[in-house]
Structure 1
Amino acid sequence: MKINIQIHYSFGLLNALSLSVALLLAGCKTSPEPAQEPASLPTPKPAATLACHAAGSPAWQLLGEQRWPLDTSWAGTPISGLSSIDYNPADDSYYLVSDDRSAKDSARWYQARIRYNASGLQQVSITGQQYLQTPSGTPYPSSRTAAADTAVPDPEALRLLPGGRSVVWSSEGDFARGFGPALQQAGLDGSWQKTWPLPALLQGPLQLATGRGPRNNMTLEGIAISDDQRSLWLAMEGALRQDGPLPRRGQIGGPLRITQYDLASQQPVRQIAYIPDALPKDNLLLPLIAINGVSEVLADGPDHLLVLERAYVLGAGFSARVYRINTQEASDTLAIDALQDAAYTPAHKELLLDFAQLGLRTVDNLEGMTWGPRLASGERVLLLVSDNNFNPAQVTQFLALVETPACASASGNTSGHAGQSHRN
């Protein structure tokens, strides 16, 4: 999801603060464009030892951070709007899709090299880019030049499919021009291969006659491939209109839908409901300009997903949390037309990480999440990237988090650590 009012397809509610700061910063002198690899700031030095966490409850601590300013470029185009990250072990590279709606350049993804070890995050550099292509074999045009029958995509998630020869990517849709969200498959050269079917309820745009359907800019935001490589999970960012309201002050949001696909048939087979948090605390002296929703999902063992919730509140900025859910304990909602007032069991949420507890200067608009290679000592590493919304007031933020070892007993749990379990 785009959260920058300088672009017409962004959150319409975030105008005031974002535009004011962006205009101020836009007048500042920017550094020269790097020839190839983008510049980055030094990564923070990680803690010398890993804090433990309660047995049975995953937790992470900061391994390192890299922050890129808006003028970081590749081939003359800003490297911005990074909305997903996925690791390809075949060539030890990362794929990052941009949610640029072919405005700065045609819709595209980047390939990157990321290097880290126990001492921190050492390197993040772009090594190439690939344009996504229409079924006719051409790069996607902008809204200014697109034919009436061609949607301009808003890419938000991208994952490599098993076998590593294709990717699947989601678009939130082109509602202004009458196109709903889409799930597409492409080759590694960006060539279009097929469109995956969406459950009827997720197709848009809004049904004017009934007032039902997906909300603009709150649709297909996250993709996960199951550990057994038999399923794909497709997450909405927010609730359908008939399923409930968006989160408010002191009130959780209506349930959003996470759909399971059978990878062999590429058909939706099941769906679960997930309840997003209420809005974070805000400055009550300012108008309520805020949003909270799911920005990514990631497989975490059999029948489990990590869910990244990202929020923005005017005056407070961005915040993010990672939850773990059991996909098998929730009801199947695929055949339920409207979840509001319906009988169903949503996914149980276990809070694993509040990014406010990592000691970062700021948390930006985190939208991508993937597992990277383990450290030499065996710990898992979680990598995240933020979408800077092409906004000078933001940065592209790369985070590397290392999973902490379990404590000897629950009583040995470190006080106030980021991964404390909230399971009852």
Structure 2
Amino acid sequence: MRQRLLPLAASLVAAVASLAVTVPSAQAHTARHPGGHHPAPNACSPSVTIDSFTDKLDKTTLDGVPVAELSGLTYDTNGHLLAVDDGSYLFTLDAHSFKPLAVQPLANKDGSPLDSEAVAVDRDGTRLVTDETQPSIVRFSRSGKPLETLPVPDSLKVAPAGRATHNLTFEGMALLPGDRTLVASMEGALTGDSPDIRRFQTWERVGNSDRFRLGPQYAFRTDPGLDIPDITSTGDGRLLVLERTYTPNVGNTVHLHVADLRHATDVSRIQNLTDDRRGVRFAGGSLLADIGACPSLGATTKQVQPNPLLDNIEGVTVTGHTRDGRLGVLLVSDDNENPVQTTRLYSLTAKLPRP
């Protein structure tokens, strides 16, 4: 979702930061993970450390297209990193250097652009991309040809067709292990649901085909006042859930949660989900870290932020697993093509609680 532009006054207040962002090297800021009685020097929380960040993509272009408004991340079958932007483009990046390698325009079958917010890669290499406008999930060939659109429950459509709010629909998406279940998260609450309840819709693969049909729907509680810009699979059946909000003249709040849908109630037939609803088991979740509590690592900002490291973080993906169960995590911020915001990539390491 596009973040509102900062008022000019706020921009001027924030201009004390240097326009040239200082980026520490990954080697200089390699995280040490919690263990024994010594807290990690780059700890954001007892279970998350920040390894490094880079602003190398900020205000760059590829083939005349701004590498900007990045809101979703995943890995391609060939190991490259894919980044989708709000402006209906899909970028291919080098997975190690983050150098842009290719850019591909996206469009619906009728030629209309997408408000593309999240991307997943199916086992055959086709791309599944969320369109927040409809909302919808469109399957694209590797060459960018639209192939099909997945079914969406009426209740998740934007009012008056459904109970969703414009610009607060499918922002996050992930394929679960085995590639048989696709999950999409609603950014905001449905009309009639409690403000901090979000619906997660699933689709199940039909046999061994590349088609998906509607599956169960689950409920997840966000931290008060925060929305969900993205989710990603942890590889063990759970999800990392990114939560974020923006407060004018204060800045961003960004939380990282782990959630488990496996014992949650199917709420697809429940019209109004409220905090006191009986008989509903919500998707279990726990807070891993408040990103604002991470060491800034020398980051600078051109806008008001509680921590200069923060920006409008909208995308998350898992980069790998260690033998002792830790996850490499990559975050990206959406700069909205705003001169006082930054396209920033963050490398973190997370230790998940036991399922």
Compute the TM-score of the two structures, normalised by the length of structure 2: 0.83
Contact 1:40/1:68, CA 8 A, preserved across alignment? no
Cα distance per residue 1:153-193 (max 9 Å; x no partner): 211111101232x01111111xxxxxx31111111111000
Q: Among all aligned residue pairs of Structure 1 and Structure 2, give the percentage whose two residues are the same amino acid.
A: 25
Aligned partner of residue 71 in structure 2, secondary structure? coil
The partner residue of 1:135 within 68, 92, 109 is 109
Matching residue within 26, 33, 36 for 1:50:
33
Alpha-carbon distance change, 74 to 197 in structure 1, aligned in 2, over 3 angstroms: same
Q: Is the 8 A contact 1:70 1:391 kept in 2?
A: no
> Aligned to 2:344, what secondary structure does the other structure show?
strand
One-letter identity of the residue aligned with 1:372: T
Q: Within the alignment, does 1:271 sit opposite 2:221 as a pair? A: no
Q: 2:163 aligns with which of 213, 223, 241?
A: 213
Separation (CA, whole Å) in 2 of partners of 1:87 and 1:398: 15
1:76 matches 2:64 = yes
Decide whether aligned partners of structure 1 residues 94 and 18 sit closer, same or farther in structure 2, where only a CA change above 3 A counts.
farther
Residues 242-257 of structure 1 aligned to structure 2 (within 5 Å): 242-245=192-195, 253=196, 255-257=197-199
Paired residues of 1:238 and 1:293 also in contact (CA < 8 A): yes
1:111 counterpart (80, 92, 95): 92
Aligned residue in 2 for 1:160: 121
Which ranges of structure 1 fall in alignment gaps of 5 or more residues? 6-16, 32-38, 101-106, 116-122, 141-151, 174-179, 246-252, 280-291, 405-418
Structure 1 residues 259 and 74: CA distance shift in structure 2, 3 A: same
After TM superposition, give the deviation of residue 336 of structure 1 in Å: 1.2
Aligned length, in residue pairs = 329
For the structure 1 residues 21 and 128, does the alpha-carbon distance in structure 2 shift closer, same or farther, using more than 3 Å as the test?
A: farther
Structure-1 residue corresponding to 2:155: 201
Residue 286 of structure 1 corresponds to none
Of the structure 1 ranges 187-196 and 362-371, higher mean CA displacement relative to structure 2 is found in: 362-371
CA pair 226-20 structure 1, distance change in 2 beyond 3 A: same
The residue aligned with 1:324 is 258
| From 277, 282, 298, the counterpart of 2:232 | 298
Distance 1:277 1:199, change over 3 A: same
Q: Could you tell me which residue of structure 1 aligns to residue 339 of structure 2?
A: 392
- Distance, in Å, in 2 between the alignment partners of 1:43 and 1:258 is 37
**Structure-1 separation of matches of 2:192 and 2:146:** 33
In the other structure, the counterpart of 1:171 is 131
Q: Deviations over 1:51-78 (max 9, x none)?
A: 3389xx9933112100147532122232
Question: Is the radius of gyration larger for structure 1 or structure 2?
Answer: 1
Output the CA distance in 2 between the equivalents of 1:294 and 1:229.
22
- Deviates most, 326-335 or 369-378: 369-378
Name the structure 2 match of 1:189.
143
1:339 shift after superposition: 1.7
User: C-alpha distance in 1, partners of 2:342/2:220?
Assistant: 29
The CA RMSD over aligned residues, in Å, is 3.2
**Going by fraction, where is strand more abundant, 1 or 2?**
2
Query: Given the alignment of the two structures, is residue 337 of structure 1 paired with residue 271 of structure 2, yes or no?
Result: yes
Instruction: Rate the CA distance shift 1:352–1:53 in 2: closer, same or farther, 3 A.
Output: farther
Return the letter of the residue paired with 2:164: P
The CA distance in 2 between the partners of 1:134 and 1:216, in whole Å, is 18
1:338 Cα offset (Å) = 2.1
Look up the equivalent residue of 1:49 and give its one-letter code. R
Residue in structure 1 matched with residue 282 of structure 2 by the alignment: 346
Residues 183/23 of structure 1: CA separation in 2 closer, same or farther (3 Å cut): farther
Closer/same/farther in 2, CA of residues 192 and 69 from structure 1, 3 Å limit:
closer
Q: Is the 8 A contact 2:170 2:186 kept in 1?
A: yes
The answer for the alignment partner of 2:315 in structure 1 is 368
> What residue is the counterpart of 1:93 in the other structure?
80
